[in-house]
Each structure stands twice: as C-alpha cells, then as structure tokens.
Structure 1
Amino acid sequence: MIRVLDRLLLFLYSILIGAAAIIAIIAASGGFQVSFLQNVVRDFTGGLRTVQGAVIGVSIVILLISLRFFIVSVRRGGSTAPSINQRTEHGDIRISVETVENLALKAASRTRGVKDLKARVRVTESGLEILIRAFIDGEGSIPALSEEMQRTVSQQIEDATGIPVADVSVFIANVIQSQASFKSRVE
C-alpha cells in the first residue's frame, strides 16, 4: 500500500514540478506581460490575498512531498539483498536469494553431461520457482538429463533450506562442442 502511495505522490510531484518549470521558463523569457499576469490573477481569484494563500498551500504540499521522497531515499539506501524469511520456534531465519541460486547451481552441476549453468530463483506463495539455464555435452538424452537435474535441484534446495520448491524449469541453451581436436585431411 505504501509503495502505491509513493508512486502516486511521485506522479503528482512530477506533474507539479514540470508545470512550474514550464511556467517559470515562459515567464523568464518574457512570454508573459506583467499586466496580463495581474489580470489573470484578479479574474480567477478576486484578489491578491487568495493567491497568496493558494501559493503558500501549494508550496507546503510540494515541500511535504519533497521531504517524504528524501526520507524514502535515505531509508532505502542501506537495504540488503533480497532474502527469503522464515520464522521458527527459535527465531527468524533469512536466506538470501543468491544463496538459494548457488545451492541450485551446485545441485545441478552434479548432473552428468552438464557443462555451463546459470540459475534464477523467484519466490512465490506456493514456494520457490527455479529456472536453470544449461549447456550440455550432447552425449545423452536431453529429457532424461533435464528430469534428473529437476529432481536433484528440488531435493537439494528443500533439504538445505526447508523451503518448498514449487517448480524447477530447465532450459537447455545449447550443446557445447567437445574439446577434441580434429585433423583435417588435405590431398
């Protein structure tokens, strides 16, 4: 809820500051005559006192919004890496998403035929969603290799963290060519 309010305030603040900047640019470049501005103010407000009150009110609102954004920027500046929080009978446990990604990489690397891995973890209400991107040697069955990797990663993450794994998706990006040197025959 607070994030939505901050976004709405930022939107309104941007509109107000943008409009004020445009008016200031036009006024500074001589786009308005002083008598024109005085007539506009008199026509819309009926007097100078009302304009002063409106300017003071708008200025206070802009100042308060500016202070809010200043406080938010300072407070969130020291934020830590995203983590998964669990509560146990002994206290809180925080596991960084990076830790879970590294555990997934370690488990997936145990699968035979996998050469290069990358992992991405997303936290959902149903559990962890893990995406493994892999390069393989192409020696074995891709479906069998993928299923083994899914099973290994899911079991390792659940055993190590105690967090249920909702989904392990495996994306085979490519086949890595073997390092064997081939000699070409020239006749």
Structure 2
Amino acid sequence: MVKVADKLLLFLYSIIIGCLSVFLLIVGFGGISIGLMNDLIGDLYRLDSLQITTAVLGFVLFVLSLRFFIVSLQRGSASAPSIDQRTDFGDIRISLETIENLALKAASRQRGVKDLRARIRATDAGLDIVIRAVVDGESSIPVLTEEIQKAVKEHIEDIAGIPVTHVSVYVANIIQTGTFKSRVE
C-alpha cells in the first residue's frame, strides 16, 4: 500500500514540477512580457487567496521532496522473492530461484528431456510449479510428463521441505533426432 501511495505522490510531484519547469522556460525565453509578469506578481501579493494557494503549494512540494529524500536514503527491502519458514531453531528463507533450480534438476534427470524452463509461484497451500519442456519424441509424452511431475514434486518436498500442491508440465516442442541417412549417388 505504501508503494502505491509513493507512486501516486511521485506522479503528482512530477506533474507539478513539470508545469513549473515549463513556466520557467517560458519566462526564461521571454515568452511572458514584463508587464504581465508585474501583474502576476502584483496579484500574488494583493490577493490573499493567491498567497495562501502559493504557500500551500510550496509546503506540499517541500513535504513531497522531503518524503522522496527519505525514501531514497532508506535501504531497499526489495530482496529476491523467497519462501519463509520458521523452525524451533530460527527462520529459514529459501529463494524461489533455488526452488526453480531444484525443479529443473529433478526434471532434467528424466530420459528424453532436452530443454527445460520452470516458473514457481508460492501460495498459502504450497508451491505451484510450471515446467516448460522440449522433449526428444522418442518416449511416450504422457508417461514422460507424469514422471517429470512425480520427480519434481518428490525432489522439492525432500530437499526443501516445502509442500508442492501442483506441478504442470507443458511440452513446448519435440526435437528431431540427428539420424539422417546419407544418400549416395
């Protein structure tokens, strides 16, 4: 929620600063006559409502600047996404990249698999894993995908101790084997 509020504030701040910079560019290049500038400044000091509006705008810009300055100095907590577990001895954090590598390792052990990619999504119930595979076409695809699902689920649950709720295997393509017959004429 804080990030959304900061993004909205940054958007408003950018709009205001953009308008001010356009105004300063116009003034700097003589786009506003001296008489008009004198009238503008005179109205600023004569009309209380314009003075209050200018003071409020200045205060808001100062507060926004201060907020963005503080945010820029804070250490970012944008660490890699991970799965957090609490044990009797302390906390354990396992990155999703580690889980992805475990899934790829388990799937690559299956015969007939040529190229793999994995995508991991952590839910409250456990892990949802999607494996994208390129196979050789020599093995039965239903049998191979079932073996991949079983191997990935067991490997991750054994090694990481995290329940796997769902393993989907998407066979993206079949690789042609390199058995070409030579033709002699």
Q: TM-score range by the shorter chain?
A: 0.7 to 0.9
**Native 8 Å contact 2:45 2:51 kept in 1:** no
| Residue of 177, 182, 185 corresponding to 1:184 | 182
Where structure 1 has 5 or more consecutive residues not aligned to the other structure, the ranges are none
**Native 8 Å contact 1:137 1:177 kept in 2:** yes
Paired letter, 2:67: R
1:51: how far off? 4.8
Mark the CA change 1:125 to 1:14 in structure 2 (over 3 Å): closer, same or farther.
farther
Where structure 2 has 5 or more consecutive residues not aligned to the other structure, the ranges are none
The Cα offsets for residues 40-83 of structure 1, whole Å up to 9 and x where unpaired, read as 4555x572676555444423322332332233334345743221
Match of 1:68 in 2: 67
**Aligned equivalents of 2:183 and 2:84: distance in 1?**
62
**Aligned equivalents of 1:8 and 1:27: distance in 2?**
29
Match of 2:15 in 1: 15
1:14: how far off? 1.4
TM-score by length of 2: 0.84
**Native 8 Å contact 1:41 1:48 kept in 2:** no
Match of 1:101 in 2: 100
1:186: how far off? 3.7
TM-score by length of 1: 0.84
Paired letter, 1:134: A
1:108: how far off? 0.8
Mark the CA change 1:46 to 1:75 in structure 2 (over 3 Å): closer, same or farther.
closer
CA RMSD of aligned residues (A): 2.5
**Native 8 Å contact 1:109 1:117 kept in 2:** yes
Mapped pair 1:117 → 2:108: no
**Aligned equivalents of 1:165 and 1:47: distance in 2?**
71
Aligned length: 185
Paired letter, 1:110: R
The Cα offsets for residues 128-151 of structure 1, whole Å up to 9 and x where unpaired, read as 221211111111121221122112
